Amino acid sequence: MTKIYTFFNKHFYNKTQKTLFENIFFLSILQFFNYFLPLITIPYLFKILGVEKFGVIMLANAIALSFIIITDYGFNRSGTREIAVNKNNPDKIEEIFSSIMFIKFLLLILSFFILLLIVNIIPSFKKESIIYYYSFGVVIGQVLFPVWYFQGIEKMKVISFLTIFAKIIYTILIFVIVKSANDYIFVPVLNSLGYITSGLIGIFIVLKSGVHFSIPNYRNGVNRFKESSLLFFANVSFYLNNSANIIIIGLLTNQTLTGIYAGFEKIIFAIKNMAQPIEQALFPYASSRSNDKVQRITRIFQIFNIAFFSIIAGIVYIFSYPILNTFLDISTLSYIKEFHLFLVVIIIHSIAAPIYGIYFPALKLYDLRLKVILVSGIVNFVLAIILTLYFKLIGVIFAIIISEVILLFISFYYYSNCKKSFAETLTK
């Protein structure tokens, strides 16, 4: 891996290209650890905790993720873009950083009060309230860690090292501390401590680099909040399209099916996100490029996605029995057909992701991104509730597939219109 990096570093003379490749390289290392470490912890936790306790932990993670969506408030895109555009203006960088962090801390406080309300209203949540409170530490860590800042200045090395550090510590402690089903309470504690530690280190690095907190300008903060609102609703829609499903399963079925679905989802989503390092590196790179170059970047990434994920999905289908038996449990093999059906999501997602993940936000087409993801998110949410009530596990998987197909068609519709409008503008 080091030899490959040295080769490209020697031959990529363009500074911008070097930065792009370096970012892809380090984010790929991060993604490798994102896959490698769960390959160790998930089978261990599934077997040690049992499917029901594993389901409780995964449900609490899904609830925490919903609050991460709230506290991110679209700044994972808009903040990255603002920093990328103004990275040579230190005063502007400090103003952006202070304003976004202030808003995120206010949203963090709001999120905690919402959690208190939810836990005390829903009986099944109240029974495991301590798990949900401990899991909230992940939200605190995410707020502290300004990933959007490091993406904007294209320093993915920092993100990679800190995240890998947190995950390695978490993995080691899981094997040291969690020895039986009664130790399930330590899983969210260790996870939260890892996120908070890396978040504090991330803030320290930002401050050491010369960026300081300052009293945010009220008007700028309000404008920034309004501008990011479209991205926020898009993220909420994306959440409804993906992560909300485990909450629906958890509320409408039982802990056993929740645990099985959570295990399947971990595998499928891990595969879906395999190209995420490239997307994360291409987004700030594309944000400062012209329309035609953004189109070219999107098209190339899309071709790569389709070819790569078609091969991966085929391999996983062929070896699905040993994969499920090794990484989850033999009890999940009775749901092998549902898992095979779930693989379809990977192919559909690979086609649409470059459009709404890079093209729309890079050109500040936040309203189009919102429309695309909002429609599919609402469809998924409604269908998941209805189909889960009648068909349980396979019902929610069908809901995901239908919503992904809708997402794909709407994305292509707006993408084609944008390309046509741009072409007409050039001919005038």
b or e along 168-180 (b: 16 or more beta carbons within 10 Å of the residue's beta carbon)? eebbebbeeebee
pLDDT of res. 24: 67
The tally of CA atoms less than 13 A away on the side-chain side of residue 231 is 25
- pLDDT tens track, the chain, 428 positions: 455 445 445 544 455 666 667 766 766 777 677 667 777 888 889 889 988 899 999 999 999 989 999 999 888 878 888 888 887 788 888 888 889 999 999 999 999 999 999 999 988 889 999 999 999 999 999 999 888 888 888 777 777 777 788 888 888 999 999 999 999 999 999 999 988 988 998 898 888 888 888 887 788 888 888 888 878 887 887 777 777 899 999 889 888 899 899 889 888 988 888 887 778 777 777 877 778 888 888 899 999 999 999 999 999 999 999 988 888 877 788 999 999 999 999 999 999 999 988 888 888 787 888 888 888 889 999 999 999 999 999 999 999 999 999 999 999 999 988 877 766 565 55
**Burial class of residue 44, CB neighbours in 10 A (0-12, 13-18, 19+):** middle
Report the amino acid identity of residue 236. V
Q: Please name the residue that has the structure tokens 């609703």.
A: 233
- Determine the 3-state secondary structure of 23 from DSSP: helix
Quick check: 149 and 79 in contact, CB under 8 A? Answer: yes
- Whole-structure pTM value: 0.78
pLDDT of res. 11: 44
What token pair was written down for 268? 């499928």
Query: Of 80, 403, 102, 73, which is closest to residue 236 (Cα–Cα)?
Result: 73
Q: Is 74 left (phi over 0), alpha (psi -120 to 50) or beta?
A: left
pLDDT of res. 102: 93
